[in-house]
Structure 1
Amino acid sequence: MNVDSLQGETVNILLKRVYETPHRDDGTRILVDRLWPRGMTKERAKIDVWLKEITPSHELRTWYQHDIDKWPDFKRRYFAEIDAHPEAVRELLRYAEQGTITLVYAAKAPEHNHALALKQYLEQNR
């Protein structure tokens, strides 16, 4: 998918675990997990948008199980899933056009998680 709407524009996409303290510099906080994070209240999470449609499928999450050896294949498969949901990408980009967005996730591994892959997808395809 070619994300023409942001081509040439500076887009600030941040990543943050839902368990980290929200900050006003986060901009629009978008939860990109399919399930609500365990033990987190809505008040504490301060989520502006919950975009379930952009998350990896249950099958893909089950297959991956945060095995870093599968990371390259996970990203390839996840990018294909994202390509199949252009309306969710457009919704996410509408928020990005308005200013900083923070992709909020619950995964423990900051260097191998779907929010990071989603950010890379957006940066590669704009």
Structure 2
Amino acid sequence: MVIQIKRVYDDAEKADGLRVLVDRVWPRGVSKQDAQVDEWLKEVGPSTELRQWFNHDPGKFDDFKKKYKEELKNNEAQQEELEKLKNWTKEHKKNITLVFGAKDEKNNQAVVLKEILDHQQV
């Protein structure tokens, strides 16, 4: 299995496995029923300050990625939720989908989290 990332606005599929929302803020215009997420890890998302600084600017993505990884290392609440995510990845043998709300599918926190999870031993 491969860890997937998917926008919350895309249809859920059985092949998604465990669906985990990794946004700090609930995505606009989507009901909890429509989102079909199994878990919501609010704290694993980037801080409000980092999110606002990044502002989904693809030109800032490399810096965002570095700052976000640093934040994940240094923030206890984020560390705890990242550990949950790592454990679920092992439990579900990578049959997991990181769900996010951003329009940009290449430059967002789910991409960074997938990269981290892909490099762990399962």
Aligned to 1:39: 29
Alpha-carbon separation, structure 2, partners of 1:46 and 1:67: 28
Alpha-carbon separation, structure 1, partners of 2:90 and 2:119: 16
- CA RMSD after TM alignment: 1.3
Task: Report SS of the residue matched to 1:38.
Answer: coil
Aligned to 1:101: 96
Alpha-carbon separation, structure 2, partners of 1:87 and 1:121: 14
Q: Which runs of 5 or more residues in structure 2 are unaligned? A: none
Task: Report SS of the residue matched to 2:112.
Answer: helix
Aligned to 1:92: 85
Aligned to 2:114: 119
1:82 to 72, 92, 95: 72
Aligned to 1:26: 16
Q: Deviations over 1:39-95 (max 9, x none)?
A: 111111111000011100000011111111111110000001111233212101121
Q: Deviations over 1:18-38 (max 9, x none)?
A: 000000111110000111111
The aligned length equals: 116
Q: CA deviation at 1:125?
A: 4.9
TM-score (norm 2): 0.88
TM-score (norm 1): 0.86
Amino acid at match of 2:59: D
Report if the CA contact (8 A) 1:30-1:48 is conserved: yes
